[in-house]
Amino acid sequence: MAESNIGNIEFQSLLYDFYGALLSDSQNEVMALYHEDNLSLSEIAAELGMSRQAVHYTLKKAEHALGEYEEKLGLVAGYHRDRKLAERARTLIQSSIPESDEDGSVKTELLSIIARLSE
């Protein structure tokens, strides 16, 4: 159970990275404190002068909005898909292009391009 919670928190953080700018100022502030500064709900409440329940509600509302953005835009899914494709291309290049293609520059350049695309 804790493992799925960690996965969910990481997923919410990724959603926030992609779509955080679309949230309201209040939602953005709560998400930043929770996901970037790793503050607890009680710490956020004290920091913002809100009740813990209000922080919880704002966080859940923001997470719901992020989920809706992902459903409509699919940027995180595309990011994961592209990273898998880049890894597959990297594997194919490493296994099929010999190190000694003249000076190894083709293989090096292809791997460099894939690395930049994967960032």
Q: Which residues of the chain are modeled with pLDDT < 50?
A: 1-4
Query: 16 to each of 36, 75, 93, 107, 110, how far by Cα in Å?
Result: 10, 11, 33, 35, 31
Sign of CA dihedral 56, 59, 65, 69: negative
Query: What's the whole-model pTM score?
Result: 0.73
pLDDT of residue 60: 96
Angle between helices 2-19 and 75-96 (to 10 degrees): 100
Q: What is the pLDDT of residues 78-91, one digit of tens each?
A: 988 988 888 888 88
Give the three-class secondary structure for 49. Answer: coil
pLDDT of residue 95: 79
pLDDT of residue 62: 97
pLDDT of residue 104: 63
